[in-house]
Amino acid sequence: MKVLVIGSGGREHALVWKLRQSPRVTKIYCAPGNGGIAEEAECVPADIKSLDSLLAVANQIQPDLTVVGPELPLMLGVVDEFNKRGWRTFGPTRAAAQLETSKSFAKEFLQRHHIPTAHYAICNSAEDVRSALPHFHAPIVVKADGLAGGKGVVIAHTKDEASMVANEMLSGKMLGEAGVRVVLEEFLEGDELSFLVVSDGERVAPLVAAQDHKRVGDGDTGPNTGGMGAYTTRTIVDDQMRDWLLHHVARPVVAGMKAEGAEYKGVLYCGLMMTARGPMVLEFNCRFGDPETQPILMRLESDLVEAIEASIDGRTSDGDFKWSDAAAVCVVVASGGYPGTFEAGKKIMGLEDAAKLDGVKVFHAGTTRRDGSFYTSGGRVLGVTARAPELETAVKQAYDATAKIGFEGMQYRKDIAARALKR
């Protein structure tokens, strides 16, 4: 079977790594991929912002299965277009992907279906913001409605700041089209949890839960990023909580989407805040998380191709995934300056030594390969991931491996999974 993975980050490297372990996969392609992925798949140039480009790639390769990594092609309708041509593709349609691509759609959907989420107001104008603000207490979360690549959420500490940020977004100056509608939201406190399930449009099968670390700095300081590291353990969510989340969140979402005529197939990523009032939905993503996928797939012991085909064919079941009890940790290594401006093209040293350590896999997120060496090419550069029976050992292995790696300006958080270790 020929498999095509769309995307170029750490998540896609982990998908390629796992998919090619399937005895059914004879050839794997990645469009466009990156330097590290090129060691394990044939990388094909592609522009993920262009459906024409992706259609041309698939036309040329004729894959038996396509797995879509990032949200952008899903928003453009890559699954709709591929399905029309009879190409088997894993992911939601454009209409179903609205759960991620429009925060106002997601909030109204959650409310219609009585799924727990923060109080909110949808604002289309400065006038809407003025009349909504009296109903909130600071801090207030201001969110751009559309996709903003992790830059669309601002936690405002005063009402004045919330008003300023919301109006800046609405003007289109801050985030363009993505911000011409905003959602004001009640600020929630608690631990964040990434709870992912695979759905066939009707049934759901859970993946093991993970925790991301969104802020750039240790102790959750500094600006939000795409994610600076993640971990998963057998105890991060107990069976009772997993069943609660399936019953009160994942299944009602899938049933609600079906009832509304936008069947949800693919990965549904539920971003949750575990508050004193119980778990609440912060956001949905219509795809695998990055970096959560890296440690999650290190714990997967069954065939990912089988689970994906079950979703496409409408026969998802609990037994689709077999998990190791081990813990897995991913430390994201980023370019200096990220999530702001950074310089690319720095030579990366020590990758071979890092990979030699027990249970370690270095996933590439933003690298290129030239004359046998790797160079940085993105904000997030690597996802140094380790698996071990206990979390403490996995953390140690991931950091020992990270310490072997070096490039000019390299930065990473030193406290991935630290809170879990303290408990």
Select the residue interacting with ligand GLY from 9, 92, 227, 379 (CB under 6 A). Answer: 227
> Does 283 sit near ligand AMP (CB under 6 A)?
yes
Compare residues 129 and 178 and give the one whose CB is closer to ligand GLY: 178
In whole angstroms, give the CA distance from residue 345 to residue 402.
19
Q: Is 237 exposed, middle or buried (0-12, 13-18, 19+ CB in 10 A)?
A: buried
Binding mask 291-310 for ligand GLY (x = CB under 6 A): -x------------------
Give the interface size with ligand AMP as a residue count (CB under 6 A). 14
> Does 35 sit near ligand GLY (CB under 6 A)?
no
From the list ligand GLY, ligand AMP, none, pick the one residue 263 interacts with, judged by a Cβ distance below 5 to 8 Å according to partner type: none
Select the residue interacting with ligand AMP from 81, 185, 290, 320 (CB under 6 A). Answer: 185
Q: Smallest distance, Å, CB 292 to ligand GLY?
A: 6
> Does 156 sit near ligand AMP (CB under 6 A)?
no
Compare residues 349 and 418 and give the one whose CB is closer to ligand AMP: 418
> Does 153 sit near ligand AMP (CB under 6 A)?
yes
Q: Smallest distance, Å, CB 270 to ligand AMP?
A: 10
Give the contacts of 314 (CB within 8 A, at least 6 positions apart): 200, 201, 202
Q: Smallest distance, Å, CB 290 to ligand GLY?
A: 5
In whole angstroms, give the CA distance from residue 194 to residue 229.
12
CB atoms near residue 224 (< 10 Å)? 16
Q: Smallest distance, Å, CB 100 to ligand GLY?
A: 9
DSSP 61-115: H--SEEEE-SHHHHHHTHHHHHHHTT--EES--TTTTHHHH-HHHHHHHHHHTT-
Select the residue interacting with ligand GLY from 285, 311, 316, 377 (CB under 6 A). Answer: 285
Nearest Cα to 330, choosing from 266, 395, 392?
Answer: 395
> Does 118 sit near ligand AMP (CB under 6 A)?
yes
Compare residues 135 and 347 and give the one whose CB is closer to ligand AMP: 135
Select the residue interacting with ligand AMP from 75, 128, 168, 187 (CB under 6 A). Answer: 187
Q: Smallest distance, Å, CB 334 to ligand GLY?
A: 13
Compare residues 133 and 328 and give the one whose CB is closer to ligand GLY: 328
In whole angstroms, give the CA distance from residue 82 to residue 138.
45
In whole angstroms, give the CA distance from residue 21 to residue 25.
8
Compare residues 223 and 409 and give the one whose CB is closer to ligand AMP: 223
Binding mask 230-269 for ligand GLY (x = CB under 6 A): ----------------------------------------
For 422, the enclosing helix (H) or strand (E) is: helix 418-422
Compare residues 57 and 184 and give the one whose CB is closer to ligand AMP: 184
From the list ligand AMP, ligand GLY, none, pick the one residue 192 interacts with, judged by a Cβ distance below 5 to 8 Å according to partner type: ligand AMP
Nearest Cα to 361, choosing from 397, 412, 393, 335?
Answer: 397
> Does 227 sit near ligand AMP (CB under 6 A)?
no
Residue with structure tokens 């392609």?
29
In whole angstroms, give the CA distance from residue 52 to residue 377.
25
Q: How many helices (H) and strands (E) does the chain have?
A: 15, 23
Distances in whole angstroms, Cα of residue 48 to Cα of each of 30, 56, 310, 353: 11, 11, 26, 33
| Token pair recorded at residue 296 | 């999650």
Residue with structure tokens 């609440």?
280
Q: Smallest distance, Å, CB 397 to ligand GLY?
A: 22
> Does 212 sit near ligand GLY (CB under 6 A)?
yes
Q: At what angle do helices 304-312 and 10-19 cross, to 10 degrees?
A: 100
Residues that bind ligand AMP (CB under 6 A): 118, 141, 143, 153, 185-188, 192, 214, 224, 271, 282-283
Residues that bind ligand GLY (CB under 6 A): 212, 227, 285, 289-290, 292
